[in-house]
C-alpha cells in the first residue's frame, strides 16, 4: 500500500503510453484529469492485488471510443463518477475498489480520478498488461467473468446501463451507444470480487507504468539512451529505425483505424515498415513480411527522446524507433489467441512470439 500524489502522475502517464501500444486514450488528457482530482480530493491509495479482501467489490474504470476524438472532445470530468454511481445503484452495494481495465494511456490514469473522488483504493493491476481495442479483450473474459452490468456516461449528461448475454455482445451494444454519445464515453464494467481480481487480472502494471516513465526521464537526464533502457526493462526487441513517411487515419465505428508507413534509416535504410492499427498497433510489416503482431506489444518511440507516440499523435517526418516486447503469458494460450490473436483482426497468419522472430542478438 502506498500513497500516489499529483507529481507521481507525470512519470505514470508516460509509462502508460508505452504499455498502451499506440492506444488507450491520450495520456496527457488523462494525466490532467487525474491530477485535478488528486488536487481537489487528496492522494490515492494504491494497493497490491493480494491486499484486496476476497469479498471486496472491485469495478474497473475506463474510457471507451476513438482516441482521436478525445483530443478534440474533452471530457467534462464527472462522466466516470456518474457511470460508477449508476452501477452502484443497480448493484445495491458500495464499490470498495477500482482498477484499470487496461495498462495504456488515459485508461491507466482514469482510475485515479475515480479513486480520488470516491475515496476508494486503486488496485495495482489491469485486465490486459497492455491496451486492446474491444471490451471482451481482457483477461477476465478467459475466466468466464461477465462485462455486464455495465454503465456508460457522456459529457452531455447521458448515462446508460446494459446487461448482455456475453462479452462480445457487450462490445457490440456498448460500441453503438458510444458512437451515439459522440464516439467517446466513460465506462464502469466487469464487476469483480477480490478473489476474481486476484485470479484473472494482470498484477503490477500501474507500478510498471510509473517505473517506465521514471526510467525514460532519468535516462535522458543522464544523457543515456532511453530506447535501450526501455528495451532492457521490458525484454524487448528493436524492430525498425526510420522516419514516418505517411499516416492514413480514419475514425470508423468508434475506432481509430489506419496505418503508418516508416522509411528506414541507419541499418534499416532502403527498407520500409508499415504498422496497421485499430486504436492500438496490430501488426508491423517489413517489406511485405509481418515481423511482429498482436498480442505482443508493438511500441513506437521517439528515436531521440524515447517517449511513446500514440496513433493519434503520429505525424509525417517524425523520427522513430519501433520496438516489440512480449505480452503477458495469458494471451499466448489458445483462449487468449482466440480473443486477441492476429486471426481475430483479419490477418491469416499464425501468431509467432516476438522472441522467436528476432532472437536475443537484435534486442538492443
CA–CA separation, 88 vs 90, rounded Å?
A: 5
Report percent pLDDT > 90 for the chain: 86
| Residue range 250-260: mean pLDDT, rounded | 85
pLDDT for res 361: 46
189 within 8 A of 64, measured Cβ to Cβ = no
Write out pLDDT tens, residues 166-200: 999 999 999 999 999 999 999 999 999 999 999 99
Q: Would the pLDDT of 213 be above 70? A: yes
What is the pLDDT of the chain when averaged over all its residues? 94
CA dihedral 87, 92, 96, 101 (to 10 degrees): -30
SS (H, E, C) 283-325: EEEECCEEEEECCCEEEEEECCCCCECCCCCCCCCCEEEEEEE
Domains and CATH numbers, the chain: 2-205 (3.40.1610.10), 225-362 (2.40.390.10)
Report percent pLDDT > 70 for the chain: 98
pLDDT-derived band at 23, boundaries 50, 70, 90: confident
Nearest to 318 by CA among 330, 308, 303: 303
Q: Residue 278 burial (CB < 10 Å; 0-12/13-18/19+)? A: buried
297-302 and 319-325 strand pairing: antiparallel
Q: Would the pLDDT of 163 be above 80? A: yes
CA–CA separation, 13 vs 19, rounded Å?
A: 10
CA–CA separation, 151 vs 61, rounded Å?
A: 10
| Residue range 160-167: mean pLDDT, rounded | 98
Handedness of CA 240, 315, 225, 202 (dihedral sign): negative
Q: Would the pLDDT of 5 be above 80? A: yes
CA–CA separation, 87 vs 303, rounded Å?
A: 43
3-state helix, strand, coil in the chain (%, to 5): 35, 25, 35
DSSP codes of every residue in 321-342? EEEEEPPPGGGGSHHHHHHHST
pTM: 0.93
| Residue range 25-49: mean pLDDT, rounded | 91
152 within 8 A of 174, measured Cβ to Cβ = yes
CA–CA separation, 267 vs 232, rounded Å?
A: 20
CA–CA separation, 10 vs 355, rounded Å?
A: 31
pLDDT for res 71: 67
pLDDT for res 293: 98
Write out pLDDT tens, residues 216-243: 999 999 999 999 999 999 999 999 999 9
Write out pLDDT tens, residues 284-340: 999 999 999 999 999 999 999 999 999 888 999 999 999 999 999 999 999 999 999
Residue 336 CB neighbours (<10 A): 20
Write out pLDDT tens, residues 102-153: 998 789 999 999 999 999 999 999 999 999 999 999 999 999 999 999 999 9
CA–CA separation, 75 vs 109, rounded Å?
A: 14
DSSP character for 280? E
Grid cell 525484454 is found at 235
Mean pLDDT lowest among 74-83, 211-220, 274-283, 340-349: 74-83
pLDDT for res 364: 47
Grid cell 541507419 is found at 266
Length of the chain: 364
DSSP character for 78? -
Amino acid at each position: 500500500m502506498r500513497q500516489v500524489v499529483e507529481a507521481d502522475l507525470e512519470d505514470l502517464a508516460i509509462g502508460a503510453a508505452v504499455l498502451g501500444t499506440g492506444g488507450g486514450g491520450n495520456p496527457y488528457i488523462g494525466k490532467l484529469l487525474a491530477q485535478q482530482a488528486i488536487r481537489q480530493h487528496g492522494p490515492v491509495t494504491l494497493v497490491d492485488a493480494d491486499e484486496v479482501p476476497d469479498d471486496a467489490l472491485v469495478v474497473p474504470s475506463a474510457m471507451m471510443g476513438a482516441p482521436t476524438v478525445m483530443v478534440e472532445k474533452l471530457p467534462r470530468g464527472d462522466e466516470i463518477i456518474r457511470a460508477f454511481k449508476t452501477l452502484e445503484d443497480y448493484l445495491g452495494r458500495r464499490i470498495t475498489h477500482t482498477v484499470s481495465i487496461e495498462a495504456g494511456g488515459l485508461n491507466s490514469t482514469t482510475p485515479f480520478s475515480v479513486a480520488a473522488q470516491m475515496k476508494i483504493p486503486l488496485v495495482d493491476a489491469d485486465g490486459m498488461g497492455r491496451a486492446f481495442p474491444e471490451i471482451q479483450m481482457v483477461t477476465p473474459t478467459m475466466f468466464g467473468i461477465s462485462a455486464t452490468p455495465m454503465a456508460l456516461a457522456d459529457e452531455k449528461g447521458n448515462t446508460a446501463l446494459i446487461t448482455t448475454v456475453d462479452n462480445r455482445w457487450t462490445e457490440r451494444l456498448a460500441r453503438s451507444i458510444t458512437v451515439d454519445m459522440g464516439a467517446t464515453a466513460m465506462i464502469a464494467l466487469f464487476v469483480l470480487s477480490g478473489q476474481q481480481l486476484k485470479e484473472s487480472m494482470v498484477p503490477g502494471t500501474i507500478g510498471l507504468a510509473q517505473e517506465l516513465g521514471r526510467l525514460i526521464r532519468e535516462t535522458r537526464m543522464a544523457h543515456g539512451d532511453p530506447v535501450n533502457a526501455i528495451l532492457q526493462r521490458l525484454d524487448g526487441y528493436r524492430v525498425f529505425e526510420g522516419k514516418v513517411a505517411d499516416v492514413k487515419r480514419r475514425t470508423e465505428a468508434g475506432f481509430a483505424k489506419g496505418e503508418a508507413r516508416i522509411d528506414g534509416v541507419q541499418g534499416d535504410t532502403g527498407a520500409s515498415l508499415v504498422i496497421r492499427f485499430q486504436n492500438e498497433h496490430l501488426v508491423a510489416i517489413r517489406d511485405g513480411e509481418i515481423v511482429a503482431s498482436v498480442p505482443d506489444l508493438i511500441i513506437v518511440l521517439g528515436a531521440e527522446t524515447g517517449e511513446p507516440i500514440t496513433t493519434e499523435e503520429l505525424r509525417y517526418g517524425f523520427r522513430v524507433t519501433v520496438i516489440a516486447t512480449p505480452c503477458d503469458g495469458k494471451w499466448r494460450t489458445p483462449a487468449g489467441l482466440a480473443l486477441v490473436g492476429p486471426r481475430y483482426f483479419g490477418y491469416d497468419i499464425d501468431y509467432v512470439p516476438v522472441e522467436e522472430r528476432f532472437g536475443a542478438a537484435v534486442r538492443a
